[in-house]
Amino acid sequence: MDDKLRIESRLAQIGSLEDPATGAVNFPIYNATAFRHPKLGQSTGFDYSRTKSPTRSVLETAAAQLESGDAAFACSSGMAALQTIFSLFGQGDHLIVSLDLYGGTYRLLERIMSKFGVSASYVDTNDLEALESVRRPETKAVVIETPTNPLMMITDIEAVCTWAKSHELLTIVDNTLLTPFFQRPLELGADIIIHSATKYLGGHNDVLAGLIVTKGAELSAEMAILHNSIGAVLGPTDSYQLMRGMKTLALRMERHESNSLELAHYLKGHSAIAEVFHPGLPEHPGFEIQNRQSSGNTGIFSFKVKDARYVEPILRHIRLIAFAESLGGVESLMTYPTVQTHADIPVEIRDAVGVDDRLLRFSVGIEHIDDLIADLGHALEQARIEIETADAQGGQA
Ligand SMILES: *Cc1c(COP(=O)(O)O)cnc(C)c1O
């Protein structure tokens, strides 16, 4: 596709000029796993679908271009993408990883990669001194999430990449929360991007998928070998469904951003709320870096209630907003990280970063902002009444 087109146009047109046989405006689903060879020593470019598959290829080409990479690899989930990436490393290798990390990534490193002799140190990746203090001769890469989830900590991608390059380390960025519509880390010096495409790229809570995007010929060739050898590839129907979601990414991200900012402002002024973590608020410590390296904000943010007793009634009283895990879909979801997404992270690490029993994470959907505020406002009010009633009864006893 034309590189000079703006990202909105490229997203809307994913796959639309790619099927010369029929002119179909969206690329068809090719289910074939085997492809006929024209003659001995010749190939159409497709041999066996684990290696390369037509529908998946269109998705991969689009993903590479959107992230300004050289190659992309579609995987059966975000975790499959991470496992494929981590398979670059082996016995004795060491990684430096964001402290406030997606729970599944932590579990993969500690339960699985550790068996293959790969170790990790967890630090605040925005602190170059902290990075330097854990670096060893065996260190091979820095793995960052920015913003982190759930605490929305921001890392200066360019600063980390510069530091990493000076020590010949790879920089791997999980770009799930901002998507290439708002942030393109490869342009800031990163080497590998990973996405849980299950989230914003798919956007509708109906397809599980992961993407890897690489920069550089050598790294791209190595990743192609891992992708094909491990085989956790995305199927043709899921590839199609993911492209269908990506076509509306620009519109969705704009609405996710504006809704989440309005809700963050609303909660900031609410008497039951102790703290709001949203990098789009000027008082957020990462506000300036975020503004410099990204063109917008994700729809995820988190907040702490003043009293942990609020959590249960809030989750019981929200109606439009669903109490559910996951994030990045058109529907608003609220989750309780300590017992859900982050349960696999040891309490000491959770406490150190501030993921405690008063923290709720909000994945703001694309519903009308007034309905979202009304739903949350009602749940907060019901929670306040229940707590005050309980306190009054406790006082009488
Ligand atoms: C969900 C998520 C993952 C894992 O992706 P799956 O598609 O669920 O396997 C990895 N990183 C981040 C930031 C996520 O939110």
DSSP 212-240: EEE-SHHHHHHHHHHHHHH--BPPHHHHH
Q: Which residues line ligand 1 (CB under 6 A)?
A: 77-79, 102, 104-105, 145, 149, 174, 176, 196, 198-199, 208, 210
The pTM (predicted TM-score) of the whole model is 0.95
Across the strands, what pairs with 197? none
pLDDT digits (tens, 9 = 90+) for 169-223: 999 999 999 999 999 999 999 999 999 999 999 999 999 999 999 999 999 999 9
In the numeric block, which tokens belong to residue 391? Answer: 């306190």
Question: Which residues of the chain are in CATH 3.40.640.10 domains?
Answer: 7-246
Contacts of 218 (CB under 8 A, 6+ apart): none
Q: Is 393 exposed, middle or buried, given 0-12, 13-18 or 19+ CB atoms closer than 10 A?
A: exposed
Closest CA to ligand 1's atom 6: 78
For residue 79, give the ligand 1 atom closest to its CA: 9
Q: Is 40 exposed, middle or buried, given 0-12, 13-18 or 19+ CB atoms closer than 10 A?
A: exposed
Would you tell me which CATH number, out of the four given (3.90.1150.10, 3.40.1390.30, 2.40.50.140, 3.40.50.300), belongs to the domain 249-390? 3.90.1150.10
In the numeric block, which tokens belong to residue 276? Answer: 């709001």
What is the model's pLDDT at position 395? 65
Residue type, 347: V
For residue 397, pLDDT beyond 80: no
In the numeric block, which tokens belong to residue 202? Answer: 């798919």
What is the model's pLDDT at position 32? 96
Closest CA to ligand 1's atom 4: 78
Measured in angstroms, how far is the CA atom of residue 195 from the centroid of ligand 1? 7
What is the rounded average pLDDT for all residues in the chain? 95
pLDDT digits (tens, 9 = 90+) for 184-193: 999 999 999 9
Give CA–CA dist 275/196, Å, rounded. 28
CATH number given to 7-246: 3.40.640.10
For residue 1, pLDDT beyond 70: no
Q: Where are the alpha helices (DSSP H) in the chain?
A: 7-12, 54-66, 78-86, 103-107, 128-134, 157-166, 179-182, 217-230, 236-246, 249-268, 287-293, 311-317, 347-353, 369-396
Q: Annotated active-site positions, please? A: 50, 102, 174, 199
What is the model's pLDDT at position 339? 83
Residue of 76, 77, 79 to mutate, ligand 1, most atoms within 8 A of C-beta: 79
What does residue 47 show for φ and ψ, rounded to 5 degrees? -120, -55
Question: Which residues of the chain are in CATH 3.90.1150.10 domains?
Answer: 249-390
